[in-house]
Amino acid sequence: MAGHSQFKNIMHRKGRQDAVRSKMFSKLAREITVAAKAGLPDPAMNPRLRLAVQNAKAVSMPKDNIARAIAKASGGDADNYEEVRYEGYGPGGVALIVEALTDNRNRTAANVRAAFTKAGGALGETGSVSFMWDRAGEIYYPAAAGDADKLMEAAIEAGAEDVQSDEDGHTIYCAFEDIGDVSSALESALGEAESVKTVWRPQTNVPVDEDRAQSILKLVNTLEDDDDVQNVYVNFEVDEATMAKLSAA
């Protein structure tokens, strides 16, 4: 299993998402505002905004919060956020991609660099690790959407490239440029997805032991706790026994 997916599963099982719900809503609101400002404030006419709103609803973000975030885009007090991507290496030689939305590039760069340095890693130049990753669409359905065979059949019919199913749900991947068509086809067949987004998928993963895995998770935690950081991707993998131990910790 890929490191990024493993990390998300671990944090979900630990209940961390509930503990940082306020921070999560703040990041989602920032993405909604940026999406609305970059296009039309109507989700039906703005694909990026539609995805942002859909993902906010998936984690039960209140409708009033969503409406305020959209309205803020057309207000004179809206912050000017810049999309920035950072790349580097962490413990054990694993590669990381960090996506941020910031109104102060110097502040964010300093915080990200400090997190890498403290973890024994190193922040690199843009492009230093992303050549080892593919940009892709990721569509997630909970287990209630159906069994693995049903999801696989629907995904193939929709034009997806890969499906990963476990007891929690189904993650469907497609080409970056096909995410709109694939998600629409899946919605017709299965109903609305829990989340639809673009992600970075590593072409290969770096095997790590338990100690390295803990250090990597600590670094990812630090990065995701930063208000400016929207997403963190890692290309590590651990064996099932270590995965179970980390999940129970």
Q: Say what the pLDDT of residue 59 is.
A: 83
CATH of the domain at 43: 1.10.10.200
pLDDT class of 14 with cuts at 50, 70, 90 = very low
Kindly state whether residue 159 falls inside one of the protein's structural domains: no
The 3-class SS string of 23-69 reads HHHHHHHHHHHHHHHHCCCCHHHCHHHHHHHHHHHHCCCCHHHHHHH
Q: What is the domain count for the chain?
A: 1
Helix (H, G, I), strand (E, B) or coil at 169: strand
pTM for this one? 0.84
Residue 19 has pLDDT above 70, yes or no: no
Kindly state whether residue 219 falls inside one of the protein's structural domains: no
Kindly state whether residue 171 falls inside one of the protein's structural domains: no
Kindly state whether residue 53 falls inside one of the protein's structural domains: yes
Kindly state whether residue 214 falls inside one of the protein's structural domains: no
**Cα angle 45-152-155, degrees, rounded to a multiple of 5:** 20
Kindly state whether residue 168 falls inside one of the protein's structural domains: no
For the segment 127-151, the average pLDDT, to the nearest whole number, is 94
For a pLDDT cut of 70, what percent of the chain falls above it? Answer: 90
Kindly state whether residue 209 falls inside one of the protein's structural domains: no
Q: 48-92: per-residue pLDDT in tens?
A: 898 899 889 888 899 999 999 999 887 765 678 889 999 999 998
The chain-wide mean pLDDT, for the chain, equals 87
**Cα angle 230-199-18, degrees, rounded to a multiple of 5:** 45
> By residue range, what is the domain housing residue 61?
3-74
Residue 207, CA distances (Å) to 36, 154, 185, 212, 244 in order: 40, 32, 35, 9, 16
Kindly state whether residue 46 falls inside one of the protein's structural domains: yes
